[in-house]
C-alpha cells in the first residue's frame, strides 16, 4: 500500500498523487485534533501532522531528508504537550520511510530508516508517557522500511525481466532466421543431388552417343565439349554445396528416405508419442529429391504435432499408386503432453510448401472434422528412364 503512489506506471499519476496524498494527510491531522473531545487539544497541536503532510507532498525531491524530518516531527508533538503523533501523522511518517527505502540505493535507504527510527525511539523513551511508545514507533518504522525494500526489489526484478524478455525476443528471431537459412541450405543440397545426378546421366548418354558416331568428327567434337561442360558443372556444384553436406566427422550424412521412415518414427515412439505407420501399394524407386522431400514433410508435420498438439496420437500413411506417392500425417487433436506455449517457429508450412513445390508435388493442410489436423503431400513418381543398350557398350 505504501508503494502505490510513487511507483505507478503513469507519470502524471506519480506527479499529482503524492501532493494530493500530502494534502489529505494534513487535512486529516486537523480533523483528528478538531474532533478529539477526550483531550480537547487546541488546533495548533495539528501542526506536526500538517508538517508531515507537507513532507509527503514533496518527498520525491529529497526522500532521505524527508524521512528524517518526518521522524523529527514527533518532537513537535511533545513540545505542544500532546502524548504523541496522531494516526494520520504516523501514516505519513511510515510513508516517508518506506518511500526512501524503495527509491534510494540500499545503503542510503537503510541509513534513512535507521536515523528516523533512532529519532522516534529516543523521543518516545525520553518524552513519551510509556516505554511501550518507543517499541510502537520501532514497529511502525521497521515495517515501513521492510515494505519499501520489497517494492525496490520488485522494481529491480521487473527491469531485469524486461531486459531478459528483450534478449529472448532477439534470440527467438535469430533462431527463426537460422532455421530458415538451414532449411534453405538443406533444400539446396537436395536440389544439388538431383541435378548432379541428372547431369551425370546426360554426360554418360552423350558419351555413348559420341561413340556411335565415329564417322562424324564435327559431331564428336560438339559432344565432347558438352561432356566436358557437364562434368565441370557437376564439379562446380559439388565444390559450392559440398561443404554444406559434411557432417561433424567430415563424412557425408546419409540422406533420409521413405524406405527408412520407420526408423525416423521410432525416435518419436521412444519419447512417448504414439505414431502409427501405414504403407499401402507397391513401393517404387524415387528420385532423390522426391524421396528426401517426402520424408522432410513427414518430419516437419510430426514436429508441428509435438509443438502445437502436445504429441497427440498420430497416423502416418504412405500410399503408393501408379505414377504417384502420397504421404499423410494426421493427429487426433488430443494432447498426450502439455503443448509448448509460444513455441519458436512459424515457418513450418512455408518450408513444406517450398519442398513440395521444388519436387513438383502438391500440399494440402488443414483441420480434420471432429478434431485434429492433417498434412497431405503428393509427389509424382516418374517412370524409370530407359537408356539405349549401345550407350553402355
Is pLDDT at 329 greater than 60 in this prediction? yes
- Give residue 166's Cα distance to chain centre: 9
50 grid coordinates: 500538517
pLDDT in tens, 308-328: 776 678 899 999 999 899 999
pTM here? Answer: 0.43
Is-contact 292 351, C-beta < 8 A?
A: no
Task: Kindly report the average pLDDT of the chain as a whole number.
Answer: 77
Q: What is the Cα gyration radius of the chain?
A: 40
Is-contact 100 112, C-beta < 8 A?
A: yes
Reported in sequence order, the residue ranges of the chain that DSSP labels E, i.e. its strands, are 275-280, 314-321, 324-331, 362-367, 373-380
Predicted pLDDT of residue 375: 94
**What is the Cα–Cα distance from 273 to 306, expressed in whole angstroms?**
8
The H-or-E segment that residue 214 falls in is none
Is pLDDT at 385 greater than 60 in this prediction? no
Question: Count of alpha carbons within 13 Å of 143, Cβ hemisphere only?
Answer: 12
47-57 helix and 87-103 helix, angle to the nearest 10 degrees: 30
**What is the Cα–Cα distance from 41 to 32, expressed in whole angstroms?**
10
Predicted pLDDT of residue 193: 61
Contacts of 171 (CB under 8 A, 6+ apart): none
The segment with the largest mean pLDDT, out of 19-28, 32-41, 182-191, is 19-28
Task: Name the nearest CA neighbour of 130 among 83, 90, 166, 91.
Answer: 83
Average pLDDT over every residue of 141-166: 87
pLDDT above 70 coverage of the chain, percent: 76
**What is the Cα–Cα distance from 276 to 294, expressed in whole angstroms?**
17
pLDDT in tens, 276-287: 999 999 988 888
**What is the Cα–Cα distance from 56 to 298, expressed in whole angstroms?**
67
Predicted pLDDT of residue 310: 65
Cβ burial of 122 (10 Å; 0-12, 13-18, 19+) is middle
Task: Name the nearest CA neighbour of 273 among 217, 220, 228, 329.
Answer: 329
- Give residue 224's Cα distance to chain centre: 58
Predicted pLDDT of residue 289: 80
**Helix, strand, or coil here: 4?**
coil
DSSP category for residue 41: -
Place of cell 499529482: 16
Amino acid at each position: 500500500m505504501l508503494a502505490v503512489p510513487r511507483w505507478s506506471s503513469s507519470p502524471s499519476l506519480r506527479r499529482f498523487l503524492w501532493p494530493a496524498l500530502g494534502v489529505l494527510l494534513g487535512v486529516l491531522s486537523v480533523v483528528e485534533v478538531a474532533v478529539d473531545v477526550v483531550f480537547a487539544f487546541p488546533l495548533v497541536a495539528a501542526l506536526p501532522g500538517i508538517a508531515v503532510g507537507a513532507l509527503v507532498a514533496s518527498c520525491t525531491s529529497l526522500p532521505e531528508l524527508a524521512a528524517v524530518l518526518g521522524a523529527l516531527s514527533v518532537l513537535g508533538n511533545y513540545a505542544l504537550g500532546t502524548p504523541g503523533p496522531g494516526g494520520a501523522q504516523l501514516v505519513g511518517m511510515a510513508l516517508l520511510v518506506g518511500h526512501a527505502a524503495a527509491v534510494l540505493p540500499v545503503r542510503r535507504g537503510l541509513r534513512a530508516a535507521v536515523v528516523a527510527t533512532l529519532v522516534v525511539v529516543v523521543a518516545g523513551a525520553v518524552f513519551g508517557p510509556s516505554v511501550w511508545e518507543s517499541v510502537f514507533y520501532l514497529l511502525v518504522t521497521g515495517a515501513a522500511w521492510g515494505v519499501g525494500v520489497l517494492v525496490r526489489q520488485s522494481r529491480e526484478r521487473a527491469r531485469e525481466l524486461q531486459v531478459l524478455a528483450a534478449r529472448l525476443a532477439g534470440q527467438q528471431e535469430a533462431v527463426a532466421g537460422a532455421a530458415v537459412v538451414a532449411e534453405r541450405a538443406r533444400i539446396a543440397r537436395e536440389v544439388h543431388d538431383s541435378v548432379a545426378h541428372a547431369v551425370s546421366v546426360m554426360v554418360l548418354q552423350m558419351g555413348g552417343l559420341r561413340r556411335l558416331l565415329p564417322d562424324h568428327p564435327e559431331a564428336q567434337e560438339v559432344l565432347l565439349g558438352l561432356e566436358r561442360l557437364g562434368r565441370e558443372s557437376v564439379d562446380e556444384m559439388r565444390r559450392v554445396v559440398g561443404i554444406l553436406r559434411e557432417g561433424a566427422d567430415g563424412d557425408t550424412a546419409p540422406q533420409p528416405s521413405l524406405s527408412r521412415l520407420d526408423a525416423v518414427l521410432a525416435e518419436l515412439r521412444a519419447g512417448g508419442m504414439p505414431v502409427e505407420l501405414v504403407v499401402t501399394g507397391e513401393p517404387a524407386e524415387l528420385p532423390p529429391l522426391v524421396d528426401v522431400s517426402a520424408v522432410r514433410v513427414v518430419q516437419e508435420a510430426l514436429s508441428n504435432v509435438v509443438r502445437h498438439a502436445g504429441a497427440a496420437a498420430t497416423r502416418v500413411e504412405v500410399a503408393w499408386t501408379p505414377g504417384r506417392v502420397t504421404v499423410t500425417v494426421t493427429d487426433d487433436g488430443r494432447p498426450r503432453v502439455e503443448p509448448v506455449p509460444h513455441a519458436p517457429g512459424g515457418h513450418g508450412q512455408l518450408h513444406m510448401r517450398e519442398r513440395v513445390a521444388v519436387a513438383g508435388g502438391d500440399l494440402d493442410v488443414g483441420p480434420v472434422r471432429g478434431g485434429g489436423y492433417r498434412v497431405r503431400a503428393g509427389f509424382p513418381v516418374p517412370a524409370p528412364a530407359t537408356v539405349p543398350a549401345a550407350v553402355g557398350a
